[in-house]
Structure 1
Amino acid sequence: MVPKFHDYERESENFYDRIASQFDHSFDGFLASFFKRFILKNLKFEQNSKILDIGCANGKLLAMLNDKKKIVGSGLDISSEMIKVAKAQYPYFTFEQGSAQEIPFDNESFDLIICSASFHHFPKPERFLLEAECLLSPNGRLVIAEIHIPFITKIYNWWINRFSTEGDVKVYQPKELTELFNQNGWKINKKKIFLQIQYYELEKNY
């Protein structure tokens, strides 16, 4: 199969710009809500933790975490319309529009970086993992919650390559993600797979 050319970041930006105002009531927002609740249930963090949400959409995950414990929250999203909504809804957090391949925050600024159902949009995942390493404070953690589609992963990836216009790059099998993290110097401290969610807490393996 000859791969179809995609400008993944432009596709993601255009798609999420279109649904930003109604994201929570969209199909994508519905699916994302399961990941948010899973993270809220499983992630342990300290009061006043500095947390960056990559692919933050309208900022709701940061608000949910803040309701659990007070945090210093920041968000990044490729969609400028999503960022407008996030800033309007949660003015007490910091939001920036931009790419996960070149994140516009200072080095060693965060205790936690969260990537919820967004990693499969990144055309250069290794670049994102390097960015995360730079942005985390010593002993900081990277949390990745990703789609889990067992048995039909190859078929699904063929479908999104041919037909998706939402900026989906590929869905990863757990083995692929484990190898990718290990190859880029990350240690898995916690791993859970539950239905359509695969969840990882990582720290840099110095």
Structure 2
Amino acid sequence: MTSEQYKELSVSEFTKAAERYESNHAGIYEMCKKDYPDILEELEKEEFSSLLDAGCGPAPMISLLAEKYPTRHYTGLDLTPAMIEQAKKKNIPNADFVVGDCENFPFEKNTFDAIICSNSFHHYPNPQAFFNSVKRCLSPGGILILRDVTSDNKLLLWFIDNIELPLANLCGHGDVKIAKRATVMECCKNAGLKVEKFEIRKGMRMHCVVRKI
């Protein structure tokens, strides 16, 4: 499939999921909640005044952050208009929500002190473009916290990428590839970003911390 076809599938998938994404009937999206504590813990170590949530969905993370840090400014970016509509309905103070592509952030240079991205990266056909946008839009010293599914087991990755994800795409999902350690490292190197931490935590959860130096 082409990049645009993957993105069209993602928009279709998450348009259908938008209203139930945070409900008790979220299905597979329930796993996203497991990332929130780890992201919050990482952000506690940082001084930030502006934060971008890339692939924000209906803004569950921004909701938590705005409650914990009410004086800071938040921006949510998502490819799916229905997700942004749900986010806006929350009327979160100091938050803006934008329909846009995480492979090409529609923001100026050095706009954000922190960027978070949770369970969205595997939908990006061109991961290098995402990291290039991160480099451009992070302020010097700024941090990216990236969470997704990954593994160092090559056989398992082959099975997921070649069997599981194509079947999911036939069912209307816009999954491209599992986030691989080597891909993240290479993309960050090419973008001029420093990987400070790359861990595979319980449940195949990638916990990656990247710095703009």
With normalisation by structure 2, the TM-score equals 0.86
How many residue pairs get aligned? The number is 201
CA distance in 1, matches of 2:119, 2:168: 19
The answer to whether the Cα contact below 8 Å between 2:135 and 2:192 also exists between their aligned partners in 1 is no
Is the counterpart of residue 204 in structure 1 residue 207 in structure 2?
A: no
CA RMSD of aligned residues (A): 1.9
The aligned residue for residue 119 of structure 2 is 117
Alignment of 1:105-184 (within 5 A): 105-151=107-153, 152-159=156-163, 160-164=165-169, 165-184=172-191
The answer to whether the Cα contact below 8 Å between 1:108 and 1:134 also exists between their aligned partners in 2 is yes
The answer to whether the Cα contact below 8 Å between 1:11 and 1:166 also exists between their aligned partners in 2 is yes
Cα displacement (A) at 1:17: 0.5
CA distance in 1, matches of 2:40, 2:92: 21
Q: 1:14 to 1:139 in 2, by over 3 A?
A: same
CA distance in 1, matches of 2:73, 2:2: 39
CA distance in 2, matches of 1:136, 1:187: 12
Cα displacement (A) at 1:162: 4.7
SS in 1 for 2:19: helix
The answer to whether the Cα contact below 8 Å between 1:153 and 1:172 also exists between their aligned partners in 2 is no
SS in 1 for 2:146: strand
Is the counterpart of residue 49 in structure 1 residue 49 in structure 2?
A: yes
Match of 2:8 among 7, 10, 14: 10
Identity %: 27
Is the counterpart of residue 185 in structure 1 residue 192 in structure 2?
A: yes
The aligned residue for residue 21 of structure 1 is 19
SS in 2 for 1:58: coil
In structure 1, the gaps of 5 or more residues are none
The aligned residue for residue 64 of structure 1 is 64
Q: 1:103 to 1:180 in 2, by over 3 A?
A: closer
CA distance in 2, matches of 1:5, 1:129: 20
4+ runs deviating over 6 angstroms: none
